[in-house]
Chains A and B, each alone.
Chain A
Amino acid sequence: METVILMVTTGILIGYLLRKRPKIIRTAEKMTGYTIFVLLFLMGISVGLNDQVIRHFDAIGIQAASVAAGSVAGSVVVCWLLYLLLFRRKNTTVDLSQKPGEL
């Protein structure tokens, strides 16, 4: 957890110092998209290499997947309501101003 916070804050600091060089900032943003694919590939490898997870992936796997699906569905629905009630209006203005930098 310390490493996570260290990486993000160091990045924020460097990004702030480079804020007058939008090309570099935009490249960093673009790179996150591709790096996510690499991350998922590597995570697939580490799950595949984990014998404990692979070995138990039959009967128990169905129970585990059901609880995971229920948890995700429940929290997504509750947070959807929160989003519609509290977050949407304020953030649309931010979204519009950010459109050029995205994607």
Chain B
Amino acid sequence: MKNSLTIFAFFVAGLLLGIFRRLPGFLMDTDWSNVVLYALLFLIGIALGGDPNMKKMFRQIDYRILLVPVGVTVGTLAGSLAVSAVLPLTGRETMAVGAGFGWYSLSAVFITRLHSETLGIVALLSNVIREILTLLATPFLVKYFGKLAGVAAGGATAMDTTLPVITRYSGKEFALVSIFSGIALSLIVPFLVTFILEF
């Protein structure tokens, strides 16, 4: 809980400084978050490579890892369908938005082209929020819903932007599951979004 709050505080501080443009130029002109993300992924690699349990970790990869992205897909679609009951959107629309799995750039473009610009913006925002929610809530989610919770919440982002938070709070041994699930979900985003809106 404390970790979630600290993360949230850092995020909000950045958000407000960004909205009100109260920043030195070098922070506004370049998006440094990618650079820091790559540095983080490099550090995670070092921690993984230097871990004496690394071999054991690889030996643990089996059929179970395949079930994780399937579980994320089923859960995401069920959850998106459920909220359509209280929103002025159809189940097909909310499921198409949910099927972005946090990959906002791609899903927004696809949905704008296949459906409408308004739903495209909903998809953009919704998937940005999913990513942020994962970053902020992972410490909390992992504590109460098991060590797959971060991977589940992260969806397609579990392989890059949310990977550092996930390995931090679920443990290094979940890094491989996280990367695998993120890649698998990223691959199916275009197909799933098209399928949901066209059939």
Which residues of A line the B interface, CB within 8 A?
Answer: 1, 3-4, 7-19, 21-22, 24-25, 28-29, 31-33, 35-49, 52-54, 56-57, 60-61, 63-84, 86-88, 90-91, 94-95, 97-98, 101-102
Give, as a whole number of angstroms, the nearest-CB distance from B190 to chain A. 14
User: A78 contacts B40, CB within 8 Å?
Assistant: no
B97 CB within 8 Å of chain A? yes
Q: How many angstroms between the C-alpha atoms of A41 and B27 in the bound complex?
A: 11
Given A11-B44, A74-B80, 10 new contacts (CB under 8 A): A1-B186, A32-B44, A35-B36, A42-B32, A43-B11, A43-B135, A49-B18, A66-B86, A79-B68, A91-B60
Report the 3 A-B pairs with minimum CB-CB distance, sorted nearest first.
A11-B45, A48-B18, A74-B79
B114 CB within 8 Å of chain A? no
Interface residues of B in 131-158 (CB under 8 A from A): 132-137, 141, 145-149, 151-153, 155
Interface flags for B1-22 (1: CB within 8 Å of A; 0: not) read 0000011001111111111110
Q: How many angstroms between the C-alpha atoms of A102 and B142 in the bound complex?
A: 15
Question: Which residues of B sit under 8 angstroms from A70, Cβ to Cβ?
Answer: 79-80, 82-83, 94, 98
User: A45 contacts B79, CB within 8 Å?
Assistant: no
* Interface secondary structure of A, over-half rule: helix
Interface residues on B, range: 35 or more
User: A14 contacts B87, CB within 8 Å?
Assistant: no
Interface flags for B52-71 (1: CB within 8 Å of A; 0: not) read 11101100100010011001
User: B17 contacts A45, CB within 8 Å?
Assistant: yes
Contact of B168 among A8, A36, A69, A83 (CB under 8 A): A36
Q: How many angstroms between the C-alpha atoms of A16 and B74 in the bound complex?
A: 37
Contact of B147 among A22, A25, A83 (CB under 8 A): A83
Contact of B6 among A16, A37, A76, A77 (CB under 8 A): A37
Q: How many angstroms between the C-alpha atoms of A68 and B82 in the bound complex?
A: 12
User: A28 contacts B41, CB within 8 Å?
Assistant: no
Give, as a whole number of angstroms, the nearest-CB distance from B48 to chain A. 5
User: A64 contacts B129, CB within 8 Å?
Assistant: yes
